[in-house]
Amino acid sequence: MTVNGLRATEEHRDRPTATITLDGRLDALSAPDLRSELRELDASGCHNITIDLDDVEFVDSAGLAALVSAMKACRMGGGELTLVRPRSADAFRVFELAKFDAVFDFVER
Amino acid sequence: MPETSVDEVSDLLADALVEANDRLLGLYEILRQPVTAGKLSELAETMPSVIRKTSGALGFAALAADGQFAVDAPGLPTTCLVEAAAGRWGEGIVTGDESGLDVDLLIRRSADGGRYVFAADDIGAPFVRFADAVVATMAGFVAMARLHRQELEMALVEQDARAAAAISAAALTTVPERAFGIEAAARCDPAQIGGGDLYVWIETDDRVVFGVGDVAGKGLSAAVVMTMITEAIGDIALSSEDLGPAAIIAQLARNRYRYLTRTGLFVTLALGVWSPTAERLVVANAGHSPVLTVDENGPRRIPPSCPPLGVLRDVEPVDEVIDFGPGTLLVIGSDGLVEQEDREGHPLGCERFVESVLAAGAARPSDLIRQLFELAAHHAADRQDDDRTALVLRRALSAEPASDDLVLPADLIELRRLGDWLYNRVALLDPEADTALIASQIELAVHELAVNTILHGFAGQPGEIRIALERHGGSWVIEMTDDAPPFDPLQVEMPTGLQEHGYGVMIARAIADSLVHEARDGHNHICLTVSNEPKSVAARKGMP
């Protein structure tokens, strides 16, 4: 899907793991769409989710909040949320500023 | 009345139970048949035999409303059963004397308008009750089969649509907001069963090849062809820097003619090439609409110069050179925008499309596209008949001085203009500064504060936020002014633990050296300063 400059690609939705690949901006405009996708995954029983932020250029606090919500939902379901670290230093800095660089489980693509 | 012994009664009861149980088993046998749409024809062959045997009938026949006939009546004349099922004797019991057969017939109307015929030696009340139970069971059975068939078809359509959307989305590239001296934007909103629209943006060192296409048809087949065409355009465009859009289209039409004719699909395509060093924009159009440019002389449509791909093997499209001076606009849409019908079936039309482009004035390409899509959505009353796609280019106004202030409507999407404005403003005010770093840090801080103002200050009401950026000594001073009801973002409580809100102000504080809010003269004023080496970056440098 492409909504407001954010593109999410879902894979393996019918299995208990899923990868969502984002690019563009994860901000207050696009975060509700990500939340909606994550809610669907949660409802379908998928609690091991990887969100690939490699191509994301901008993340704001609303995007961060959507990821926090996803992490909580995954843990509540007995799974884990993994984030692929954004290539853009600007996009990653928001995690550092909000002290979430140590909270999320980041991997390199 | 002769006296009956207990043993005799027991035997009678046992016989009755056995008989009843047999019939219950018969109904059970009917119901346990797998109800899947794909097995209906198979069931038509086996069901008469199951019904005949379990009902104790000598023969059973069924004639469906669509003329399909199934029978299991060994030793009986089939033609007589066909006549009975066809309505020769209506419904009810027909004796052997009436039918000329050695057996009686029980004829019942089926739920779908056909008839069932039971043939038996003696059709008494128990037999009739059981036969009616069979008829009722069959009615439910057929209804279930139909429902299953519909669900299966709907599931297949949905699966097809999902796959098509995923395939299409994967093929689309990202269009930069600004590159090669032009501003650009592209968007493709697939319809529920879409997949045929495409846009391309292929950059090399010296030029960019771009375009919009539409594969006739919908669903998975259109999505697959769309992906193939998108890849093929890239391959041809990258094979030689000398190929103009007409040559790319001609080569594409020739290479893919056989494939497209075999699939029965054709593809409309408008391609362009922008060469910034030569300041030359060339466009070729193969059956696509709408394609138009807008400059100081008004709008001008670029009509097709050849048919769509897949119609002819050898085509000769024409390269049209566009006078692409600063501010000139190029808009390529798709029929999903201009042909979108309203509730009464009236299409949006090219004229309204062009009017909307003109009304947008000097709006940025992304804003223009948003307005065009909103126009189509409004016209359609939120239905969507086809994919909607647009690609817009505008030659940047390089000579235009950067505006002193940025005024943003209170709409989250407007915040996406912030980055470009800050970048230009920082570069203008301090050419020696690390423009990208400074602009990105200020953007994040201002963005967070502005989101708070839009969501909590204006809270859905219209309004504006004015942003000014100045350089003072070693710092950048940003002033944000809005006319929302007094709202001090600094009063927002800092988050603790893993809560999901409240990080915006925390982030702005982490970037800014100072952050002050003041409500005066009916306005909110927020002033923040950011040093030339933002503390957010300096802190990171100091980290191990």
pLDDT band at B294 (very low <50, low <70, confident <90, very high): very high
**Chain B residues close to A24, C-beta within 8 Å:** 174
* CA–CA min distance B157, chain A (Å): 17
Helix or strand (DSSP H, E) at A73: helix A61-76
| Distance of alpha carbon B280 from alpha carbon B57, whole angstroms | 87
Supply the pLDDT for residue B38: 43
Q: Considering the entire predicted model, what is its pTM?
A: 0.46
Across B66-93, b (16+ Cβ under 10 Å) vs e yields: eeebbbbbeebeeebbeebbeeebeeee
Interchain contact A91–B (C-beta under 8 A) = no
- Helix B40-55 and helix B125-171: axis angle, to 10°? 160
* CA–CA min distance B99, chain A (Å): 60
Give the per-residue SS3 of B339-375.
CCECCCCCECCHHHHHHHHHHCCCCCHHHHHHHHHHH
Question: Of residues B68 and B368, which shows the higher confidence score?
Answer: B368
Residues 152 to 181 of B: which have CB under 8 A from any A CB?
Answer: 165-166, 169-170, 172, 174
Arithmetic mean of pLDDT over chain B: 83
Has residue B67 got a pLDDT over 50? yes
> What ipTM did this prediction achieve?
0.89
Supply the pLDDT for residue B98: 87
B101-105 contacts, C-beta under 8 A, 24 or more apart: B101/B76, B101/B77, B103/B58, B103/B59, B103/B76, B105/B81
**Chain A residues close to B447, C-beta within 8 Å:** 27, 60
Supply the pLDDT for residue B473: 76
User: Average pLDDT of B188-197?
Assistant: 78
* Nearest Cβ partner for B413 among A9, A29, A98: A29
**Which is nearest to A23 in space by CA: A41, A37, A4?**
A4
Beta strand residue intervals within B102-257, DSSP E:
104-109, 115-120, 178-179, 182-189, 197-203, 208-215
Omega cis (within 30) before B290? yes
**Interchain proximity B166–A62, CB inside 8 Å:** no
Has residue B43 got a pLDDT over 70? no
pLDDT band at A82 (very low <50, low <70, confident <90, very high): very high
Residue A102 CA, chain-centre distance (Å), reads: 16
The residues near A64 (Cβ < 8 Å, ≥ 6 apart) are A94, A95, A98, A100, B503
CB B24 within 8 A of CB B11: no
Share of residues in chain A with pLDDT > 70 (%): 86
CA quadruple A67, A50, A74, A12: dihedral sign: positive
Give the range with max mean pLDDT: B178-192, B439-453, B507-521.
B439-453
**Chain A residues close to B511, C-beta within 8 Å:** 97
* Nearest Cβ partner for A9 among B170, B412, B443: B170
The helix/strand/coil state of B463 is coil
Task: State the DSSP code for A6.
Answer: E
Has residue A9 got a pLDDT over 80? no
User: Average pLDDT of B66-80?
Assistant: 84
* CA–CA min distance B412, chain A (Å): 6
User: Average pLDDT of B379-408?
Assistant: 78
pLDDT band at A48 (very low <50, low <70, confident <90, very high): very high
**Chain B residues close to A103, C-beta within 8 Å:** 498
* Nearest Cβ partner for A96 among B169, B443, B540: B540
User: Average pLDDT of B5-22?
Assistant: 55
Supply the pLDDT for residue B33: 52
Give pLDDT tens digits for B99-155. 888 899 999 988 777 888 999 988 888 788 878 877 777 777 677 777 777 777 777
Please count the residue pairs, one from chain A and one from chain B, whose beta carbons lie less than 8 angstroms apart. 81
Interchain contact B506–A (C-beta under 8 A) = yes
* Residues counted in chain A: 109
User: Average pLDDT of B68-88?
Assistant: 87
Give pLDDT tens digits for B201-239. 998 878 999 999 999 877 777 888 888 899 999 999 999
Share of residues in chain B with pLDDT > 70 (%): 87
* Nearest Cβ partner for A65 among B165, B503, B510: B503
The answer to which of A62-71, B55-64, B86-95, B408-417 has the lowest mean pLDDT is B55-64
**Which is nearest to B260 in space by CA: B289, B235, B299, B229?**
B229
Question: Of residues B362 and A101, which shows the higher confidence score?
Answer: A101
**Which is nearest to B52 in space by CA: B90, B32, B26, B78?**
B26
Supply the pLDDT for residue B256: 92
